[in-house]
Amino acid sequence: MKFRDGMWLPIEGKRTEYAEDIYTITKRPDGRALSLLCPTKHVRSRGDTLNLPTVTLDLEAVFDGVISVEVTHWSGAANKGPHFDLFPDGKPQDDASISVSDKGTTIASGSVSATIHPDQHTFDIRFHATDGSKHLTSLLNRSVGFAYGPAPSTPIQLDDMRNFDHYVFTQTTLGVGETVHGLGERFGAFNKVGQSVTLWNSDGGTSSEQAYKNVSFWLSNRGYGVFIDTPDKVDLEVGSERSCRVQTSVKGQRLKWYLIYGPSPKEVLYKYTTLTGRAGRVPAWSFGLWLSTSFTTSYDEKTVSSFLEGMATRDIPVEVFHYDCFWLKAFHWCDFVFDTEMFPEPSNMISRLKSSGLVKKICVWTNPYLGQASPVFKMAAEKGYLLRRKNGDIWQTDLWQAGMGIVDFTNPEATKWFVSCMETLFDTGVSAIKTDFGERIPVDDVQWFDPSVDPSKMHNYYSFVYNKAVYEALQKRHGKCEAVVFARASTAGCQRFPLQWGGDCESTPEAMAESLRGGLSLGLCGFSFWSVDIGGFEGYPSPWIYKRWVAFGLLTSHSRLHGSNSYRVPWTIDNDDQGEQSCAKTLARWTALKARLMPYLYAQAAEAIAGGLPLSVRAMCLEFPEDPTSWYLDRQFMLGSKLLVAPVFEETGDVEFYLPEGRWTNFFTGEVKSGPRWVKEKHDFDTLPFYVRENTVLVLGKEGERRTVYNYLEDVEVRLYHATTGAEAQLVDSDGNEKGRLKIDTNSSVIGQDLLQGNSSIQIIS
């Protein structure tokens, strides 16, 4: 939302008022907050205080390294919910202090402080490290205020605010060379400076400025992040209105955000996820290959069995089979009832599949909508389980499903009913749920069951209550650490309900790159686990892009083959080519590699959860924040903290990637390259740039391992990559329990070898 026409003029149709003075500074009695009264003109006499709007700016020390900033125009405005569920694991103790000197008034929250200029006529608030070592950002002249649209010609017109929109905004300064990242799963440029970003969940695919997962958090390369504390629509001008500022605006009377100081990006994410929550542990089996029926394809039990048998004969283990939409009857989506014409005995069918040994787990597609044709619709409408219009009608639309209604999760009884539907699916043998949709939640002419909620805030927040209900139902049935959702829509806090996938992408190399950028941005918002539709969702992938996507997709935390109107089993892509570079052979090799990586991956997953970090895809800047280049790298990523992956986007196999400082060893060939430098390589379909960071102790499953769940301490291969004193690797079992660590001591010996079982070996790579 832009409010200015260049630097000097107001934009047509808007009137803007800026905080000009800091007239009074009031210390809260507990010593943890300051309240600033800020008139919108300089006050030089008593008469200047009349007919003059003010803005109140509250600064609070929240916990070490975190200060909140809240701007309010009219404090009497209702602050309706929903509100983000903050500090789900408890609030840390704060270390607050307030001091006054000739430099101004300073509020400190442990390692971060805000200093207010001593001259009341100089609007200047500086955020900095408490020890004075680093300046972060500032609120300067004309950086805090409110706006009306349309512009009123007289204050009398504001007697009836129904005719006006009211906005509150802040503008934090951008330093020279500063970059901004995150804001959810964004598919455009990785560095957001220069972009206008609207945080509003939309079903727009990956090739647009819209996003399924809008998260009101951004990370700066200057060692801090900002979390905007509202699920409502947020408009950001990231160096796109004033090129030296990030403008944040919301419709309403108040705006609150938290400034989070690291100084490292990992520390910023740890503190951000202290506020909003961290991912739950996902089971080891979920890291295996997921195979889907695809979206609009026709299938029955025979089709499913043929897919799984075909994968088995090609040495491609499938851990999870996913039934997409048409397990349900057409026009009935989503009443949670199997289409009995196609699947007359769903429980027996699932039991047969599992007992065959071809697959271990079953997932089904769901959404929070209900088509009018389903007999369940009438019951849900009568009981008040569906969202209503203001006149009492059920809110319905023909977009997606004819006459569909939307489950109203603000009604506790509706949530109980929805969960009971999940439990019925679990009774049939379902182990995981794909929670699709949840983005197009209406805000006009709607009345939620809970009258205290703001429909606009419910739009994004709906994804939280939707995924929470399903995730907790899975936990209750299968166990706290066995729950897996496969979610598309998300907002801040949804990282607590893993996992998320990247949405509808085309079957092109450009879409693969878009998806990667989306995953990188989402990972910088505290989401530990992420997946993508291997091969692309829309269209028919050519064999080469399918194979390149397989290599990429099997090195993300979770790996699923899924398409729209075509199958994604490999033999349908290349007419069942039998060559060594065929789709089937390529998929088998990369699936086997991921199985071998599981001792490393599952240990890294535990570390990612604890730190609020992405497992994969992890932006390079998280591991190499002091390297300026790392903040611009969006065609490669880290798999955990030790492995670098650069997907190939060219049919020729040509790829260019960046190696940060240090020695890097090619996982496949053992060749060593030193960084920092750019590297060009050419790859067939059985390799890609896959490099191991120096000083790595890498634990792998045995050669030829095909399973995802096995004993991660038995018959393992331990590789030491230029490992020196102190290098270590965490050892976990297949339940995620830490069993100890392997560590290099001062004599270059490996401590902890007694934890290894069977014919485990240690190999020195140098």
Q: 10 Å Cβ neighbour count for 578?
A: 9
CA angle in degrees (0–180, nearest 5) for 647-648-650: 155
Q: Which two tokens stand for residue 362?
A: 């079953």
Phi, psi of 131 (to 5 degrees): -80, 0
DSSP state of 241: S
Whether 498 contacts 529, CB under 8 Å:
yes
Per the annotation, the verdict on 439 as an active-site residue is: yes
What token pair was written down for 320? 């999870």
Which helix (H) or strand (E) element contains residue 108?
strand 104-109
Three-state SS letters, 260-300? EECCCHHHHHHHHHHHHCCCCCCCHHHHCEEEECCCCCCCC
* Cis amide linkage into residue 412, ω under 30° from 0: no
Segment (H or E) for 592: helix 583-611
DSSP reduced 3-state for 113: strand
Coarse DSSP helix, strand, coil percentages of the chain, rounded to the nearest 5 percent: 25, 30, 45
Whether residue 504 lies in the annotated active site = yes
State the Rg of the chain over Cα: 27
- Total H helices, total E strands in the chain: 10, 42
Nearest residue to 753 (alpha-carbon basis) of 764, 742, 745: 742
436 as an active site residue: the answer is yes
Angstrom CA distances, 718 to 597, 643, 690, 744, 756, stand at 11, 15, 17, 12, 10
**CA atoms of 651 and 657, how far apart (whole Å):** 16
Q: Are 757 and 733 in contact (CB under 8 A)?
A: no
- DSSP per residue over 136-190, as a string? EEEEEEEEEEEEEESPPSSGGGGGSGGG-EEEEEEEEE--TT--EEESSS--S-S
Question: Can you tell me whether residue 623 is helix, strand or coil?
Answer: helix
CA separation, residue 400 to residues 264, 363, 464 (Å): 44, 22, 21
What angle do the packed helices 583-611 and 543-553 form, to 10 degrees? 30
Among the listed residues 20, 436, 538, 705, the single catalytic one is 436
SS3 398: coil
- For residue 662 the two structure tokens come to 């240090």
Establish whether the linkage from the previous residue to 9 is cis, with ω within 30° of 0.
no
On whether the CB atoms of residues 329 and 337 are closer than 8 A, the answer is yes
Catalytic residue among 439, 533, 623, 717: 439
Q: Is the peptide bond before 617 cis (omega within 30 degrees of 0)?
A: yes
Catalytic residue among 235, 324, 504, 574: 504
List phi, psi (to 5°) of 349. Answer: -60, -50
Show which residues are catalytic: 436, 439, 504
